A and B are shown apart, each in its own frame.
Chain A
C-alpha cells in the first residue's frame, strides 16, 4: 500500500518559549479535504506555520510526511518545491516588490525550476488566465505585494498563488475571512475546482460558509493544541449550531 498524501504524527511545537501544539495526529489521503475548526488561540495557525517550516516555530517532537517523505526538517522553500502550500491567515506586505515580479520568482522556483512543466515564456499567459478567474484586475500586478491590499484582496491573491503553484497538498488558514459574499463564492469555487483525486487540502476555518462550497470529507475540532474530535461534514454544521462547549466537556 502506498503512503498517504500527507501525515502529521504526534506533533509537539513550541513558539517563543510557549508550548502550543500538544500531540497533533492527522492523515490526509489523496483526494481528501479536511477542515480544522476551533476556538481562537488554540494553535491552528501554529500548526499551519509549523507544517510550512516557519523558523519561529520549533518542533519538539513528532514528524511531518508529504507523500511518504519526511519533511519535518526541511526549509520552507524546500517544502514549497515539493508542492506543499500555505495560504496565510495574514499575508505579509513587501513594499517595492511588485505582485508580478513576486509571482514570477515564485513560479520559476516552484514550477519552471523544478519539474520543467512551465516555460518562463508561458508564465505571463498562465498568470493572466488565473487572475481572470479570480476577478483580480491587471492593475494589481504592478502594485507592491500585499501593501495596502484590503483583507479580501489579500485572500484572493493567496488563492491565485495556490492555483498557480499547483500544490499537491494545500493548507488554507482562514482563506474565507475578510471576503465579501461574492468574493467568498468566487474564491471557494476556485478552490473547489482545484480539488482532484491526487490533491489534498487542510482548510482551517471558523465558519460553515466556505464548507458549503468545498464539502469536507473530514472535520476536526482543535483545542488545546491538539485534535479533540473528528467527524464528517455534519460535525461542522453541528458546531455552527451549538458552538464548542459540548466538545470541551
Chain B
C-alpha cells in the first residue's frame, strides 16, 4: 500500500455484499484503484458490474438492511472511511465527497424547492445562515447555467426538465467545493444533445474548482472524451486499468475489446431520432454474482478462454506504462486484431 502521496482517494480490495433471497450477492469483489487530486477517473462496465455499488460504498451509502462493506479499505486523504464513525462520515458527505446520481428524474425531492435542496447542504456543511446559503444556491444555479436562476430557486423539481434537474444535481454536489465528485452515469438518462452539454459543463467546472472526479459510465465514448484514466469492471472485479490513450490504443482485456466493439461512437453522426447506431454487443450474459466464481468471470463469454481461465482467477499484471490487466491470455490477445 502506497503512502498518500498525490492520491486523494485510495480504494483497496473493496468487497461489498448484499444478502438476498438467492444468497449473498458479491456486487463488488476486491476492487482497487487510486484517484489523484484533480484527476478525472473513469469507471466503465456493463450494467450490473458493480459501478454504482462501488460509488455508494465510498460514501458508505449502502443500505444497511441488506448490504455491507465486507472487506477492503477506502482511504480519503489518508483517513480510513470503512471504519469512520457515522457522524464523521455525515460530515464528509456532500461536503468533501459528493455524488451525482444516475436518475435525475427521481433524485431530487419532489416536495421541496430546488433552492431548499441546495441550501440545506450549504447550511449543513458551511455553517452559514439560510439567507447566505440561498445566495450560494443562486450562484450555483447560475454557474451551471440555469437561466433565470433566481426564480428557479422557488420551483419544484417537476417544473424542470431532466437536463435541468441534472444541472441542479451538479450545482448541489459542487455547492460546498468538494475534493471528490462521484458522478454515477450522470448523463445516461438524458438525450444525446443534453448529454454532451452536461459533460462539458462538468469538465469546465472541474477546471475551475480542481475537484477530482470519478466518472462512472457504461459508455466508452464518454470515457474517451472526458477522462484521464480508466478502470474497467466486470462482475464486481477490476479487469483492466490504463491511462485513457493507452486503453484506446491497445485494450488488453478481451472484455474491454468487446466493449470497444460495442461503442456507440461519438464521432459517428447521430441519426434523426438522436440515436447512434449500436455496433456490436458482447454475446452472452453477465454471470450471477451469488456463487463464487472460481476462475476468470469473463470465461463463459470469452473467445480466448482456456482450461486455466475457468479454474484459476487471473491476477492483475502490470503491462507497462500504468497499464494493468487481469487476463491469462494477454499475449494472445495482444497479438490478435481488435
Real binding pair:
no
List the interface of chain A (C-beta within 8 A of B): none
